[in-house]
Structure formats: C-alpha cells, structure tokens
Amino acid sequence: MRYDLNLLPVFVTLMEERSVTRAAERLGITQPALSNALARLRVAMGDQLFVRERYGVQPTETAFAIAPAIASALAQIDEVVTRHQEFDPARTELLMTIAPNSYVEFALAPAIVARLRDIAPGLRLRLTPFGGDLAETGVVSGVTALALGRIVDPPDNLVVQHLMNEGLACVVRADHPEIGDSMSREQYERLKHVNVLPPGRLRVGLFQALERQGLRREVAVSVTHFLAVPEMIAVTDCCATLPRLICRRLANDARLKVVAPPVDLGTFPVEMAWHARYRHDPAHRWLRTLVAEEAKRIADAATAA
C-alpha cells in the first residue's frame, strides 16, 4: 500500500499542538488545506485520529498508539536528508522555537534576536516558556529547537552544552538611606528583600548559595519575573539579589544602584539543550553556534566591565 509521506508531518504537528489553527500556522498552510490533509490521513489509517473538542482536538487511542513510530520514522528521514543539505542563513525562511528561562529571555535573548536580524532576517523565532519541566518545553520531543537556562537531570535523548557561568549581585535604590557603595553582612540581613521566583532551578541555586554562606534573608515580597524588580526596588528600601547580567541592565536605571553581595555567593551554569536528532541538522547547528557565540560575547563583556 502506498502512503503520502507529506501527511505524516501533519499528523505529528497535530499531535503536538492539539489545535488545527496552531498546526496550520506552524506548517505554513491554510486551515482548509490542513483539514483536507487530515481527511486523507483518516482514510489511510482507517480511524478518526483526532476528535474535536471545545478548545482544540483530542487524539484517539489509535493516534496515541501510532504516534511514537511515526515520529521516530520522520526523525530518521530528517537526519538522512539534512546530513546532505546546506544552510544559507541569509536566505532561510525557517520558523524555529526556542525555550529560554526568564533569565535568558531577559539577559541573552535580545542580543540573539539582534544578531539574527543582521545575518538571517528571514529566520523567525518563537519563544516558549522554560519552567521546571523540560518535557513541557517541547525540547524532549524535538518540537522545540533549544532549551536555554539551567538544565537539570536531562533525559538521554538530549544533548547539553555549557554556555557560560553567571554570578550574583545586589540591587537597591540609588538614594538608599543605609547602603552606599558596598554592603555588609549585617546590612544585608537587616534589609527587607524582593525575591524573584521564576519557575525552574535558578531560585534553588540562590537559596542554596545563601544557605552555604549562612546568610539570612528576610523576604518581604516575591515576584514572578525580573521585570517586576526595578519598580519594586525604586520605591522601597528593599534589596534584590539577582544574576549579574540582570544587574548590569538595571544599572542603567538612574533610580537604582548595584552593589556586591557581602559574601561570595558563587556561580551557576547557563546551558543549552537540544534533541539528539538535531545533532547534524545544518540549520540547527548554525543556530546553536550563534547562541553560543552571543553568550560568550556577553559574558566576556561583563567580565571586562
């Protein structure tokens, strides 16, 4: 029996997106075209495959059963084909999804996007959140090209590359009544603190660093993103302990000042992870190189400053 191999990416994308609208957008086709392809898939497989629900589509038991085999087959075909392809960043029209944690999105992603605009203007990036679960980012299944942040306990099908080490500093308001150009342990422990609670492992690293040094911190308010910190600090006498690259950005705000923590809080790694199926993909390899170069450039500039 002959099969239309063009239908298989439609099946995989629907499995991943669970939405005809999002699947069509990702594949770069119209919704009617995708619906037509799904109708042909149903005939070929002898099953409904996807059942409409209020907020999208739900795979049938048959769809769940055949999905791993189809995804594996496509991955093998992709690897065979891409090994022999060349990639021209100046002419590409690809859409690639990356999952940065909130630190990378704030500190590194703008530089990555700016570089892409210069040398690959047709390459579009879609950023999806990277919380505490790698599987939820799509990188474990290969849907998402890269996860960027702190990669803890990756599964065997992910490749992890170290990008840089990052340290910590403190931010207070510029006219703080107690803090000058430095901060003592006593001052740090006496202050109220703004704590950033992004999803994932970064907050664990900070808590562990404080514990190792026996440094106490009274948290007055917890926020969910670094972007909330400047406004909190500018109107209070609170302190925030943040990654140094974040602090470097905040130092441009005249209302704030950056001071060193009273003790060495060590460093934490910033890493990049991707599915092993992309190891030899020319476009993916090019993007990985660009991300690594930008991370090194920014880290070197921060060290030299």
In order of start, what are the domains of the chain with their CATH numbers? Answer: 7-82 (1.10.10.10), 95-164+269-304 (3.40.190.10), 168-266 (3.40.190.10)
* Side-chain-facing half-sphere of 170: CA atoms under 13 Å: 30
pLDDT in tens, 94-153: 899 999 998 999 999 999 999 999 999 999 999 988 876 787 788 887 889 999 998 988
Residue 52, beta-bridge partner list: 57
**What's the CA gap between 246 and 242, in Å, rounded?**
7
Closest by Cα among 111, 139, 150, 140 to 290: 111
* pTM for the full predicted model: 0.72
Q: What's the confidence (pLDDT) of residue 83?
A: 57
Of the ranges 202-206, 223-227, 296-300, 301-305, which is most confident? 296-300
Give the C-alpha separation, 262 to 184, whole Å. Answer: 5
Contact between 23 and 49 (Cβ < 8 Å) = no
Q: Which residues contact 47 (CB under 8 A, 6 or more apart)?
A: 60, 62, 63
pLDDT tens-digit profile of 154-189? 888 899 999 999 999 999 999 999 999 999 999 999
